[in-house]
Chains A and B, each alone.
Chain A
Amino acid sequence: MKELRLMKGNEAIAEAAIRIGVDGYFGYPITPQSEVLEHLMAEKPWEKTGMVVLQAESEVASINMVYGGAACGKKVMTTSSSPGFSLMQEGMSYIAGAELPCVVANVVRGGPGLGTIQPSQADYFQATKGGGHGDYKLITLAPSTVQEMYDFVGLSFELAFKYRNPAIILSDGLIGQMMEKVYLTEYKERWSDEYINKTFPWATTGRAADRGNSIITSLQLQADKQEEVNLRLQKKYREIEDNEVRYELINCEDADYYFIAYGSSARISQKAMELAAEEGIKVGLIRPITLWPFPTKIIRELGQKSKGVLSVEMSAGQMVEDVRLAIEGKVKVEHFGRFGGVIHSPAEILNALKTKIIGG
Protein backbone atom coordinates (compact mmCIF):
# COMPACT_ATOMS: atom_id res chain seq x y z
CA MET A 1 0.00 0.00 0.00
CA LYS A 2 1.23 3.46 -0.85
CA GLU A 3 2.42 5.66 1.98
CA LEU A 4 0.22 8.70 2.41
CA ARG A 5 1.25 11.80 4.32
CA LEU A 6 -0.11 15.31 4.92
CA MET A 7 2.64 17.72 3.92
CA LYS A 8 3.48 21.26 2.90
CA GLY A 9 4.49 21.71 -0.72
CA ASN A 10 8.02 22.67 0.32
CA GLU A 11 8.32 19.58 2.51
CA ALA A 12 7.12 17.45 -0.39
CA ILE A 13 10.03 18.70 -2.52
CA ALA A 14 12.49 17.79 0.24
CA GLU A 15 10.95 14.38 0.89
CA ALA A 16 10.95 13.57 -2.82
CA ALA A 17 14.62 14.53 -3.07
CA ILE A 18 15.51 12.04 -0.35
CA ARG A 19 13.37 9.24 -1.74
CA ILE A 20 14.36 9.46 -5.41
CA GLY A 21 18.05 9.30 -4.49
CA VAL A 22 19.26 12.88 -4.90
CA ASP A 23 22.99 13.13 -4.12
CA GLY A 24 23.18 16.68 -2.88
CA TYR A 25 21.07 19.65 -1.85
CA PHE A 26 22.65 23.07 -1.37
CA GLY A 27 20.39 25.89 -0.23
CA TYR A 28 19.95 29.18 1.54
CA PRO A 29 16.97 30.21 3.65
CA ILE A 30 14.36 32.53 2.15
CA THR A 31 10.64 32.81 2.75
CA PRO A 32 8.44 31.16 1.53
CA GLN A 33 10.60 28.10 0.76
CA SER A 34 12.75 27.60 3.88
CA GLU A 35 10.89 24.40 4.82
CA VAL A 36 12.80 22.56 2.09
CA LEU A 37 16.14 22.94 3.89
CA GLU A 38 14.47 22.62 7.32
CA HIS A 39 12.83 19.33 6.37
CA LEU A 40 16.08 17.96 4.95
CA MET A 41 18.07 18.90 8.03
CA ALA A 42 15.44 17.34 10.29
CA GLU A 43 15.28 14.13 8.26
CA LYS A 44 19.12 13.64 8.19
CA PRO A 45 19.14 11.94 4.78
CA TRP A 46 22.93 11.52 5.01
CA GLU A 47 22.18 8.74 7.47
CA LYS A 48 19.56 7.11 5.21
CA THR A 49 20.83 7.46 1.66
CA GLY A 50 24.16 9.26 1.97
CA MET A 51 22.65 12.44 0.52
CA VAL A 52 24.71 15.58 1.15
CA VAL A 53 22.80 18.57 2.55
CA LEU A 54 24.50 21.90 3.09
CA GLN A 55 23.32 25.37 4.05
CA ALA A 56 25.39 27.66 1.86
CA GLU A 57 26.41 31.24 2.60
CA SER A 58 24.24 32.65 -0.20
CA GLU A 59 22.13 31.70 -3.18
CA VAL A 60 25.16 32.55 -5.31
CA ALA A 61 27.17 29.91 -3.49
CA SER A 62 24.25 27.44 -3.55
CA ILE A 63 23.87 27.50 -7.30
CA ASN A 64 27.61 27.21 -7.80
CA MET A 65 27.74 24.24 -5.47
CA VAL A 66 25.02 22.78 -7.68
CA TYR A 67 27.24 23.54 -10.71
CA GLY A 68 30.18 21.71 -9.11
CA GLY A 69 28.07 18.73 -8.10
CA ALA A 70 26.25 18.51 -11.43
CA ALA A 71 29.61 18.58 -13.21
CA CYS A 72 30.45 15.35 -11.34
CA GLY A 73 27.38 13.62 -12.82
CA LYS A 74 25.59 13.74 -9.47
CA LYS A 75 21.91 14.46 -8.92
CA VAL A 76 22.05 17.84 -7.23
CA MET A 77 19.50 20.55 -6.59
CA THR A 78 18.70 23.77 -4.83
CA THR A 79 15.55 25.72 -4.07
CA SER A 80 14.89 29.38 -3.49
CA SER A 81 12.35 32.14 -3.86
CA SER A 82 12.32 35.10 -6.23
CA PRO A 83 15.09 37.40 -4.89
CA GLY A 84 17.28 34.37 -4.29
CA PHE A 85 16.51 32.97 -7.72
CA SER A 86 17.57 36.30 -9.22
CA LEU A 87 20.93 35.88 -7.48
CA MET A 88 21.26 32.47 -9.08
CA GLN A 89 20.92 33.69 -12.67
CA GLU A 90 24.67 33.90 -13.28
CA GLY A 91 25.04 30.30 -12.16
CA MET A 92 22.01 29.18 -14.18
CA SER A 93 23.55 30.68 -17.32
CA TYR A 94 26.86 28.87 -16.66
CA ILE A 95 25.06 25.59 -15.96
CA ALA A 96 23.01 25.91 -19.14
CA GLY A 97 26.14 26.87 -21.08
CA ALA A 98 28.12 23.95 -19.70
CA GLU A 99 25.08 21.71 -20.37
CA LEU A 100 24.77 20.28 -16.90
CA PRO A 101 21.70 18.54 -15.48
CA CYS A 102 20.32 19.87 -12.22
CA VAL A 103 17.04 20.85 -10.61
CA VAL A 104 16.16 24.23 -9.13
CA ALA A 105 12.80 25.06 -7.56
CA ASN A 106 11.65 28.67 -7.37
CA VAL A 107 8.83 29.11 -4.87
CA VAL A 108 7.83 32.49 -6.23
CA ARG A 109 6.92 35.50 -4.09
CA GLY A 110 5.80 38.99 -5.03
CA GLY A 111 8.29 41.46 -6.46
CA PRO A 112 10.05 43.44 -7.75
CA GLY A 113 12.89 43.96 -5.30
CA LEU A 114 12.37 42.55 -1.86
CA GLY A 115 8.65 42.70 -2.71
CA THR A 116 6.59 40.58 -0.38
CA ILE A 117 6.57 37.06 0.98
CA GLN A 118 3.09 36.35 -0.44
CA PRO A 119 2.65 34.13 -3.50
CA SER A 120 3.12 35.42 -7.03
CA GLN A 121 3.67 34.19 -10.57
CA ALA A 122 5.68 37.17 -11.72
CA ASP A 123 8.88 35.19 -12.35
CA TYR A 124 7.44 33.56 -15.47
CA PHE A 125 9.63 35.53 -17.87
CA GLN A 126 12.74 34.84 -15.79
CA ALA A 127 12.10 31.10 -15.76
CA THR A 128 10.86 30.53 -19.30
CA LYS A 129 12.95 32.98 -21.30
CA GLY A 130 16.33 32.06 -19.85
CA GLY A 131 16.74 34.49 -16.98
CA GLY A 132 20.47 35.10 -17.15
CA HIS A 133 22.73 36.20 -20.00
CA GLY A 134 22.96 34.44 -23.34
CA ASP A 135 20.62 32.32 -25.46
CA TYR A 136 19.48 29.45 -23.28
CA LYS A 137 16.35 27.74 -22.05
CA LEU A 138 15.38 26.00 -18.84
CA ILE A 139 12.91 23.13 -18.81
CA THR A 140 10.19 24.66 -16.64
CA LEU A 141 7.58 22.60 -14.80
CA ALA A 142 4.66 24.22 -12.98
CA PRO A 143 3.08 22.15 -10.20
CA SER A 144 -0.45 23.00 -9.10
CA THR A 145 -0.75 20.54 -6.20
CA VAL A 146 1.46 19.39 -3.37
CA GLN A 147 1.49 15.94 -5.00
CA GLU A 148 2.95 17.54 -8.11
CA MET A 149 5.57 19.33 -6.01
CA TYR A 150 6.60 15.83 -4.97
CA ASP A 151 6.29 14.16 -8.37
CA PHE A 152 8.00 16.89 -10.36
CA VAL A 153 11.28 16.51 -8.48
CA GLY A 154 11.77 13.08 -10.05
CA LEU A 155 10.38 14.20 -13.41
CA SER A 156 12.68 17.24 -13.45
CA PHE A 157 15.76 15.11 -12.85
CA GLU A 158 14.64 12.67 -15.53
CA LEU A 159 14.32 15.48 -18.08
CA ALA A 160 17.47 17.27 -16.86
CA PHE A 161 19.64 14.19 -17.37
CA LYS A 162 17.90 13.19 -20.60
CA TYR A 163 18.85 16.50 -22.18
CA ARG A 164 21.85 17.59 -20.05
CA ASN A 165 19.92 20.74 -19.25
CA PRO A 166 18.85 22.43 -16.01
CA ALA A 167 15.20 22.00 -15.07
CA ILE A 168 13.14 24.41 -13.00
CA ILE A 169 10.15 23.76 -10.80
CA LEU A 170 8.27 27.07 -10.94
CA SER A 171 5.99 27.02 -7.94
CA ASP A 172 4.73 29.80 -5.71
CA GLY A 173 4.30 30.62 -2.05
CA LEU A 174 0.76 29.28 -2.05
CA ILE A 175 1.64 25.75 -3.14
CA GLY A 176 4.87 25.83 -1.16
CA GLN A 177 3.07 26.63 2.08
CA MET A 178 -0.24 24.79 1.81
CA MET A 179 -0.71 21.26 3.11
CA GLU A 180 -2.26 18.44 1.10
CA LYS A 181 -2.07 14.70 1.17
CA VAL A 182 0.81 13.23 -0.77
CA TYR A 183 1.39 9.69 -1.94
CA LEU A 184 5.05 8.93 -1.28
CA THR A 185 7.18 6.62 -3.38
CA GLU A 186 9.61 3.95 -2.19
CA TYR A 187 13.21 4.92 -1.36
CA LYS A 188 15.49 4.56 -4.36
CA GLU A 189 19.22 4.04 -4.07
CA ARG A 190 21.51 6.79 -5.23
CA TRP A 191 23.51 6.16 -8.40
CA SER A 192 26.79 4.35 -7.81
CA ASP A 193 30.12 5.81 -8.89
CA GLU A 194 30.42 2.95 -11.39
CA TYR A 195 27.05 3.81 -12.92
CA ILE A 196 27.96 7.50 -13.20
CA ASN A 197 31.36 6.73 -14.74
CA LYS A 198 29.80 4.40 -17.28
CA THR A 199 26.76 6.52 -18.13
CA PHE A 200 28.16 10.05 -18.10
CA PRO A 201 31.63 10.07 -19.69
CA TRP A 202 31.53 13.87 -19.68
CA ALA A 203 31.41 14.03 -15.87
CA THR A 204 34.47 15.25 -13.97
CA THR A 205 34.63 12.30 -11.61
CA GLY A 206 38.42 12.42 -11.31
CA ARG A 207 39.04 9.42 -13.53
CA ALA A 208 41.14 11.13 -16.20
CA ALA A 209 43.60 8.29 -16.77
CA ASP A 210 40.78 5.88 -17.67
CA ARG A 211 39.12 7.93 -20.38
CA GLY A 212 41.11 11.12 -21.01
CA ASN A 213 40.36 14.22 -19.01
CA SER A 214 36.85 15.63 -18.81
CA ILE A 215 36.48 19.38 -18.94
CA ILE A 216 33.36 21.22 -17.86
CA THR A 217 33.31 24.78 -19.13
CA SER A 218 31.04 27.30 -20.80
CA LEU A 219 33.95 29.22 -22.34
CA GLN A 220 34.75 29.17 -26.04
CA LEU A 221 36.90 32.15 -26.95
CA GLN A 222 36.59 31.75 -30.73
CA ALA A 223 33.34 33.28 -31.92
CA ASP A 224 32.69 30.70 -34.63
CA LYS A 225 33.17 27.90 -32.09
CA GLN A 226 30.85 29.64 -29.66
CA GLU A 227 28.28 29.90 -32.43
CA GLU A 228 28.61 26.14 -32.92
CA VAL A 229 27.92 25.65 -29.22
CA ASN A 230 24.84 27.83 -29.55
CA LEU A 231 23.62 25.98 -32.63
CA ARG A 232 23.95 22.71 -30.74
CA LEU A 233 22.00 24.19 -27.82
CA GLN A 234 19.26 25.46 -30.12
CA LYS A 235 18.95 22.04 -31.76
CA LYS A 236 18.54 20.50 -28.32
CA TYR A 237 15.90 23.09 -27.40
CA ARG A 238 13.89 22.31 -30.55
CA GLU A 239 14.06 18.63 -29.63
CA ILE A 240 12.73 19.40 -26.14
CA GLU A 241 9.96 21.51 -27.67
CA ASP A 242 9.01 18.60 -29.92
CA ASN A 243 8.98 15.94 -27.22
CA GLU A 244 8.36 17.34 -23.78
CA VAL A 245 5.29 19.56 -23.86
CA ARG A 246 2.95 18.69 -20.99
CA TYR A 247 -0.46 20.12 -20.17
CA GLU A 248 -3.82 19.24 -18.69
CA LEU A 249 -7.22 19.88 -20.29
CA ILE A 250 -10.25 20.32 -18.04
CA ASN A 251 -13.80 20.64 -19.47
CA CYS A 252 -12.43 21.46 -22.90
CA GLU A 253 -14.80 19.22 -24.92
CA ASP A 254 -17.39 21.81 -25.94
CA ALA A 255 -16.08 25.01 -24.39
CA ASP A 256 -16.90 28.40 -25.84
CA TYR A 257 -14.13 30.13 -23.91
CA TYR A 258 -10.85 29.08 -22.34
CA PHE A 259 -8.93 29.96 -19.26
CA ILE A 260 -5.19 29.45 -19.66
CA ALA A 261 -3.67 29.17 -16.21
CA TYR A 262 -0.89 27.26 -14.44
CA GLY A 263 -0.01 26.46 -10.84
CA SER A 264 -2.11 28.22 -8.20
CA SER A 265 -3.98 30.22 -10.80
CA ALA A 266 -5.12 26.99 -12.44
CA ARG A 267 -6.64 25.84 -9.15
CA ILE A 268 -8.50 29.11 -8.70
CA SER A 269 -9.54 29.21 -12.35
CA GLN A 270 -11.07 25.75 -11.95
CA LYS A 271 -13.42 27.18 -9.34
CA ALA A 272 -14.13 30.17 -11.59
CA MET A 273 -14.99 27.65 -14.32
CA GLU A 274 -17.59 26.06 -12.02
CA LEU A 275 -19.08 29.47 -11.23
CA ALA A 276 -19.28 30.17 -14.96
CA ALA A 277 -21.02 26.85 -15.60
CA GLU A 278 -23.65 27.73 -13.00
CA GLU A 279 -24.40 30.78 -15.14
CA GLY A 280 -24.46 28.70 -18.31
CA ILE A 281 -21.10 29.96 -19.63
CA LYS A 282 -19.07 27.08 -21.07
CA VAL A 283 -15.44 27.60 -20.17
CA GLY A 284 -12.60 25.11 -20.50
CA LEU A 285 -9.26 25.22 -18.72
CA ILE A 286 -5.97 24.59 -20.45
CA ARG A 287 -3.33 24.14 -17.74
CA PRO A 288 0.26 24.27 -19.01
CA ILE A 289 2.38 21.85 -16.95
CA THR A 290 5.53 22.70 -18.87
CA LEU A 291 5.84 26.46 -19.19
CA TRP A 292 8.86 25.89 -21.37
CA PRO A 293 8.37 24.13 -23.66
CA PHE A 294 5.06 25.99 -23.81
CA PRO A 295 1.95 24.09 -24.99
CA THR A 296 1.56 26.41 -27.96
CA LYS A 297 0.03 23.84 -30.27
CA ILE A 298 -2.93 22.79 -28.11
CA ILE A 299 -3.67 26.40 -27.15
CA ARG A 300 -3.62 27.26 -30.86
CA GLU A 301 -5.85 24.32 -31.85
CA LEU A 302 -8.49 24.86 -29.19
CA GLY A 303 -8.16 28.59 -28.64
CA GLN A 304 -8.42 29.68 -32.26
CA LYS A 305 -11.78 27.92 -32.58
CA SER A 306 -13.14 29.47 -29.38
CA LYS A 307 -14.93 32.75 -28.73
CA GLY A 308 -12.07 34.10 -26.62
CA VAL A 309 -9.26 33.24 -24.26
CA LEU A 310 -8.44 34.63 -20.82
CA SER A 311 -4.93 34.12 -19.57
CA VAL A 312 -5.01 34.07 -15.76
CA GLU A 313 -1.81 34.59 -13.88
CA MET A 314 -0.69 36.20 -10.59
CA SER A 315 1.35 38.76 -12.51
CA ALA A 316 0.84 41.93 -14.51
CA GLY A 317 0.67 39.75 -17.63
CA GLN A 318 3.61 37.57 -18.61
CA MET A 319 2.32 34.22 -19.86
CA VAL A 320 -0.33 36.10 -21.85
CA GLU A 321 2.41 37.03 -24.35
CA ASP A 322 2.98 33.36 -25.16
CA VAL A 323 -0.78 32.78 -25.31
CA ARG A 324 -1.13 35.64 -27.80
CA LEU A 325 1.66 34.17 -29.93
CA ALA A 326 -0.23 30.87 -29.93
CA ILE A 327 -3.61 32.41 -30.84
CA GLU A 328 -2.03 34.55 -33.59
CA GLY A 329 -4.69 37.25 -33.26
CA LYS A 330 -7.47 34.91 -34.41
CA VAL A 331 -9.65 35.46 -31.33
CA LYS A 332 -9.61 37.84 -28.43
CA VAL A 333 -6.92 37.20 -25.80
CA GLU A 334 -6.83 39.11 -22.54
CA HIS A 335 -4.89 38.85 -19.32
CA PHE A 336 -6.31 38.89 -15.84
CA GLY A 337 -4.42 38.65 -12.63
CA ARG A 338 -3.80 40.23 -9.26
CA PHE A 339 -0.17 40.63 -8.39
CA GLY A 340 2.43 41.82 -5.92
CA GLY A 341 1.41 38.99 -3.59
CA VAL A 342 -2.38 39.29 -3.92
CA ILE A 343 -4.25 36.10 -4.88
CA HIS A 344 -7.22 36.59 -7.19
CA SER A 345 -10.60 35.12 -6.28
CA PRO A 346 -12.71 32.87 -8.55
CA ALA A 347 -15.36 35.61 -8.72
CA GLU A 348 -12.81 38.13 -9.92
CA ILE A 349 -11.71 35.76 -12.66
CA LEU A 350 -15.28 35.14 -13.81
CA ASN A 351 -15.92 38.85 -13.77
CA ALA A 352 -12.82 39.42 -15.89
CA LEU A 353 -14.06 36.84 -18.40
CA LYS A 354 -17.36 38.64 -18.65
CA THR A 355 -16.00 42.16 -18.95
CA LYS A 356 -12.82 41.58 -20.95
CA ILE A 357 -13.80 38.69 -23.24
CA ILE A 358 -17.56 38.14 -23.44
CA GLY A 359 -18.71 41.72 -23.15
CA GLY A 360 -15.44 43.35 -24.24
Chain B
Amino acid sequence: MAIKGAIVVDIEYCKGCGVCVGACPQEVIRLSKKVNGKGYNFAEMQNDACVGCSNCAVVCPDGVITVYRLKV
Protein backbone atom coordinates (compact mmCIF):
# COMPACT_ATOMS: atom_id res chain seq x y z
CA MET B 1 0.00 0.00 0.00
CA ALA B 2 1.24 3.45 -0.87
CA ILE B 3 0.19 6.86 0.31
CA LYS B 4 -0.41 9.58 -2.19
CA GLY B 5 -0.88 13.15 -1.12
CA ALA B 6 -1.64 16.48 -2.72
CA ILE B 7 -1.85 20.09 -1.66
CA VAL B 8 -4.06 22.86 -2.87
CA VAL B 9 -2.68 26.36 -2.43
CA ASP B 10 -5.09 29.27 -2.11
CA ILE B 11 -3.04 31.24 -4.59
CA GLU B 12 -4.49 34.68 -3.94
CA TYR B 13 -3.90 34.35 -0.18
CA CYS B 14 -0.31 33.04 -0.56
CA LYS B 15 2.43 35.59 0.14
CA GLY B 16 5.28 33.53 -1.29
CA CYS B 17 7.30 33.51 1.92
CA GLY B 18 8.78 30.12 1.05
CA VAL B 19 8.65 28.68 4.57
CA CYS B 20 6.69 25.70 3.25
CA VAL B 21 9.37 24.92 0.68
CA GLY B 22 11.97 24.03 3.30
CA ALA B 23 9.41 22.32 5.53
CA CYS B 24 8.50 19.72 2.90
CA PRO B 25 10.41 16.46 3.48
CA GLN B 26 9.62 15.28 -0.06
CA GLU B 27 10.80 18.43 -1.82
CA VAL B 28 7.41 18.72 -3.47
CA ILE B 29 6.93 22.48 -3.17
CA ARG B 30 8.52 25.36 -5.04
CA LEU B 31 7.65 28.98 -5.51
CA SER B 32 6.07 29.47 -8.89
CA LYS B 33 7.64 31.65 -11.55
CA LYS B 34 4.15 33.10 -11.94
CA VAL B 35 2.73 35.67 -9.54
CA ASN B 36 -0.68 36.15 -7.97
CA GLY B 37 -2.77 39.31 -7.99
CA LYS B 38 -0.58 40.91 -5.35
CA GLY B 39 2.63 40.04 -7.21
CA TYR B 40 3.75 37.23 -4.93
CA ASN B 41 5.41 34.11 -6.37
CA PHE B 42 2.98 31.64 -4.87
CA ALA B 43 3.73 28.11 -3.67
CA GLU B 44 2.96 25.21 -5.99
CA MET B 45 3.61 21.46 -6.36
CA GLN B 46 6.52 20.66 -8.59
CA ASN B 47 6.20 16.84 -8.61
CA ASP B 48 3.91 14.04 -7.44
CA ALA B 49 6.01 12.92 -4.44
CA CYS B 50 3.58 14.42 -1.88
CA VAL B 51 2.62 12.02 0.90
CA GLY B 52 0.12 14.37 2.56
CA CYS B 53 2.18 14.82 5.73
CA SER B 54 0.74 18.36 6.21
CA ASN B 55 4.06 19.86 7.31
CA CYS B 56 3.71 22.66 4.77
CA ALA B 57 0.19 23.54 5.90
CA VAL B 58 1.11 23.36 9.57
CA VAL B 59 3.92 25.87 9.14
CA CYS B 60 2.17 28.17 6.63
CA PRO B 61 1.70 31.54 8.36
CA ASP B 62 -1.31 32.41 6.24
CA GLY B 63 -3.10 29.07 6.37
CA VAL B 64 -3.37 28.92 2.58
CA ILE B 65 -2.57 25.21 2.12
CA THR B 66 -5.17 22.45 2.19
CA VAL B 67 -3.79 18.91 2.29
CA TYR B 68 -5.31 15.71 0.90
CA ARG B 69 -4.20 12.15 1.48
CA LEU B 70 -5.22 8.91 -0.20
CA LYS B 71 -4.18 5.34 0.55
CA VAL B 72 -3.84 3.36 -2.67
Direct contact between A and B judged by beta carbons closer than 8 A: no
- Interface residues of chain A, those whose CB is within 8 Å of chain B, are none
